[in-house]
Amino acid sequence: MLATPVNLPADSSIQRILVIKWSALGDLVMASALFEDIRRAFPRAEIHLNTQPANQKLFAADTRFAKIIALDTRARSGRLGAMLRWLRSIRAGRYDLVVDLQTSDRSRFLLGVLQLTGMGIRHRVGNHGFWPYTIGPDDLPLDINPVLRMRAALKLAGIPTPTSHPVLAVPEHNRERVQRLLTQHGIADEDYALLFPGCHPRGYLKRWGEQNYAELGRLLLQERLVRHIVIAGGPDEVGLGNTLASHIGTAAVNLCGATEMLDIIPLAEHARYIIGNDTGTSHLAACSARPQVVICGPTDPTRVKPLGDQVIAIQADLPCSNCYRKHCAHHSCMREVRPAQVLALLTVAQVHAIIRVPARILEALPHA
């Protein structure tokens, strides 16, 4: 039976391992905790990571992987050629074990083709308990948090999953750039709150709104919890950052467009508090140990909350929550979450407790 537990780390013949994780930034960052668990379970094995080309920069300094296989298997044009290149590359790897943390129709198809052509991989761990996987859970609901499903798969393979937060290696030049930015603006360690007010343009309903973030920033300053408000985001969010900074006042610093993805981790490590929308940047910040609140509206916090005991997700308790719509006439899910509620959760997150407010609050996911 596919769901029968085994102890793969005890198999000394497993010398080469392939880990597959293609998906969006947030899911990939959460999966980095599982990367850490796999590395610890197989300390002497050679491990390769197969991900999308856009994700490759996240692993530039990552010593857990001997090789990053960055192939775009999901391109709309040249799809057949891309899949053939993937098959040739994976065949050449001669892997003893594959851990498919993507487990999409396409990854299953490609692994199945490998098996049918006689060039398959002996041990195949997937997030579902059916062919082409030799190990995988077959009794989990489809809407379960992806990390819990991945942990269940690893547990069946005999791989412990104690890592409770994302783990990514930050190159020294990223840390140095963040330190220069903070020094340039006269900002000391743990003397600022870090805001992520943006998100992908197509997911604009996930934005809490500049007025809410501005009010929260002013409350943090008025309560003397911090002396500065730092706003971070991509180049397309520079205007949003400027508007927000103008509403908060001279204590606000707009770093939108001034940072790279891996800068976010040291920027979060030096912050006192972190507040953001459901966005990949919030997941990167969860690599730090700083208290963080993520505001969720149309997306389900049980699925999208960044991984970590120090992260709390808040969501208005409405019948239309988790609608995943792209457009909405009233946006009530975000309007009902108040800056004062978020402020209360920030101070609570610092002592790992919970204050009940008129909204749904999600604590850390179990990781044992």
What are the tens digits of pLDDT across the range 90-102?
Answer: 999 999 999 999 9
Tens-place pLDDT, residues 226-280: 999 999 999 999 999 999 999 999 999 999 999 999 999 999 999 999 999 999 9
Give the separation between CA 151 and CA 154, rounded to whole angstroms: 5
**pLDDT score, position 361:** 56
Average pLDDT over residues 347-367: 46
Give the separation between CA 40 and CA 312, rounded to whole angstroms: 27
Is 180 or 324 the better-scoring residue by pLDDT? 180
Tens-place pLDDT, residues 176-233: 999 999 999 999 999 999 999 999 878 889 999 999 999 999 999 999 999 999 999 9
Residue 132: phi and psi, rounded to 5, are: -95, 15
Domain 172-362 in CATH 3.40.50.2000: yes
**pLDDT score, position 45:** 98
Threshold 0.75, pTM exceeds: yes
Cα–Cα distance list, 321 to 103, 145, 318, 332 (Å): 27, 17, 5, 9
Give the separation between CA 278 and CA 299, rounded to whole angstroms: 8
**pLDDT score, position 3:** 56
Q: How many CA atoms lie within 13 A of 129 on its CB side?
A: 18
What sign does the dihedral 36-42-44-45 (CA atoms) show?
Answer: negative
**pLDDT score, position 238:** 97
SS3 67: strand
Residues 346/325, Cβ–Cβ less than 8 Å: no
Give the separation between CA 344 and CA 99, rounded to whole angstroms: 40
Residues 276/196, Cβ–Cβ less than 8 Å: yes
**pLDDT score, position 129:** 83
Average pLDDT over residues 152-167: 96
> Could you state, in order of their start, the residue ranges of all structural domains in the chain?
8-156, 172-362
Architecture of domain 8-156: 3-Layer(aba) Sandwich (3.40)
Helix, strand, coil tally for the chain in percent (to 5)? 40, 15, 45
8-156 and 172-362 share one fold:
yes
**pLDDT score, position 73:** 79
DSSP letters, 259-305, are --GGGHHHHHHT-SEEEEESSHHHHHHTTS-S-EEEEESSS-HHHHS
Strand 273-277 with 123-126, pairing: unpaired
